[in-house]
Structure 1
Amino acid sequence: MFTEKAKENLKAMLWQAKISAVDNTDAQAMRVPSLYADWEALESGTHLTKGQRVNYKGMLYNVLSDHDKQTQWTPEAAPSLFAKVLIPDPNVTPDWEQPLSTNGYKKGDRVRHKSKIWESLVDNNVWEPGVMGTEGQWKEVTE
């Protein structure tokens, strides 16, 4: 098994990884979701900080404002407190999902919508692809 020194080194490395995880992009965070707390496992009253990430039902969410966890304030039920990461895997083009003002698509994000693939031309893009008037927000692309 591991020596005490080896165990301490592993703990230190994990702690450093968790500290560094705060600065990860959403795409980087999705590669190592185990570095982020599982919302269900957090005790009620646990303090969550703006910018922190949590896992909930297999999806990653960004914490939007400091608050103490309340059982009824799930990431799905409290969109003012959490923003779902809409591009969980940059290597997979997901179906378009209507974002909120807190989690718009980023420039370069690609989505599938109405049998086409679209690329966001702007950051914080909350517009539906392919709709008249959104030519400056999305462009149709081929894979």
Structure 2
Amino acid sequence: MIEITNWVMNGVAGEALTTVELCLLETIKRDDGTEKQDVYAFTVTGEHATTAYITEHLQELLDAHKQEQAIAELAPEAQLKALRAAITKAIKLADIPDKVALGAVALFPVWTEGAEYKMGERLSYQGTLYKVTKDHSSKVGWEPTHASTLFAIVTEVQAYPEWVRPTGDGYKKGDKVTHNGKNWISTYSDNRWEPGSLGWDELK
């Protein structure tokens, strides 16, 4: 059972509240019939700072506060792992646009040896965000900094695989690559020219 023992609402009369300071008493019945009581104090902000929302979602708000407390008590590396797990559970990292993801690189999984990576996945390596450009099983020597055909650095501009000189079939018409800091689209089939010369248009 959760009981609100005190709350203070901060805001302007007639306008939306900015914060609500809550003090809660939680009573939990143990298996032996005894009761355990804990007091929690925290602040609710933003769109959730309304009496209607707080009343309806009291357990949810308390659970979120407990999770924040538990994470705060962990060592930094364990905190990051717990935050990743909590955020992955709440949202799909795959749905975050690149521009937003660049501000939250630490939330993405770190490249590891022996992992199965699918095209389009994003991961971090040495503090940089990469996008997988080809399905593969990772191994030593294929780190994102050494395997430009498997990864593309994510930037605010759409990330494409780094251009490499073809040794077999050339690039198809419509293929997109990155070269010399710019993005290019092939205008020919079996294209073997270097972007910036014949056969390529720069993508703006």
Please, what TM-score do these two structures have when normalized by structure 2?
A: 0.38
Q: Unaligned 5+ residue runs, structure 1?
A: 91-98, 106-110, 112-119
Q: Deviations over 1:19-77 (max 9, x none)?
A: 521122221110111221122xx2x2121222111112222110112222101101122
Q: Is the 8 A contact 2:130 2:153 kept in 1?
A: yes
Matched residue, 1:23: 95
- Over the matched positions of the two proteins, sequence identity in percent amounts to 28
Q: How many pairs does the alignment contain?
A: 105
Structure number, greater radius of gyration: 2
Structure with the larger strand share: 2
Aligned to 2:87: 14
Question: Aligned match of 1:48 in 108, 113, 117?
Answer: 117
Whole-angstrom CA distance in 1 between matches of 2:176 and 2:128: 16
- The question of 1:84 aligning with 2:143 is answered no
Shift, 1:102, TM fit: 5.4
> Normalized against structure 1, the TM-score is what?
0.51
Which secondary structure does the structure 1 equivalent of 2:131 belong to?
Answer: strand
The whole-number CA distance in structure 1 between the counterparts of 2:176 and 2:125 is 17
1:93 matched residue in structure 2: none
Point out which structure has higher relative CO (alpha carbons under 8 A, 6+ apart).
1
Runs of 4+ in 1 over 6 A off after TM superposition: none
Any idea what SS the aligned residue of 1:38 has?
Answer: coil
Give the partner amino acid of 1:82. F
Is the CA contact 2:122–2:130 (under 8 Å) kept in the aligned structure 1? yes
Question: Closer, same or farther in 2 for the Cα pair 1:36/1:103, shift >3 Å?
Answer: farther
Provide the rounded CA distance (Å) in 2 between the counterparts of 1:16 and 1:104: 33
Q: Which residue of structure 1 aligns with residue 184 of structure 2?
A: 125
Q: Which runs of 5+ in 2 are unaligned?
A: 1-39, 41-62, 72-81, 164-174, 186-194
User: Counterparts of 1:103 and 1:29 in 2: how far apart (Å)?
Assistant: 21
Aligned partner of residue 16 in structure 1, secondary structure:
helix
CA distance in 2, matches of 1:125, 1:76: 21
